[in-house]
Amino acid sequence: MANSAYQPAYELIGGAPALRQLVNRFYELMDELPEAYMVRKIHPESLVGSAQSLFEFLSGWFGGPPLYSNKKGHPRLRMRHAPYSVGPIERDEWMLCMRLALTEQVEDAGLRDALIETFQKMADHMVNTDGSPNCSHHSHAHA
């Protein structure tokens, strides 16, 4: 390993404790920021389960233990989010929370910028509606 320049993001951010802190801060921001109202309302009242799922997913996605896949199989993010109305507003609010959490939690600017870019691509991929009132998706994750 000493000859390898590659280190997974999981290790670079500080492993499970730092990842847990990032996820917790992300959901705290979603809960606190008025600017995150629309994305917050498509989540259940309690964010505990959402935080656990995101932690498990990011663990594997960042190159750490594949906790989510071991528990639930392939993530299939678009399919799992299909019941929820994810438009440009929800995407942008989600990214606001993630960008702020990363800015607070990840000191390495290069790593932070790379993660923001990767999250932006994933968030863009999750959009399943243009946000118009005629959308047939559910408005609440717990509905």
Q: What is the pLDDT of residues 42-59, one digit of tens each?
A: 999 999 999 999 999 999
Q: How far apart are CA 14 and CA 119, in angstroms?
A: 18
> Residue 64: which pLDDT band, with cuts at 50, 70 and 90?
very high
- Domains in the chain (CATH in brackets) are 13-75+82-126 (1.10.490.10)
pLDDT by residue (tens digit) across 111-135? 999 999 999 999 999 999 886 554 4
Spell 75-107 as b/e; 16+ CB within 10 A means b.
beeeeebeebbbbeebbbbbbbbbbbbbeebbe
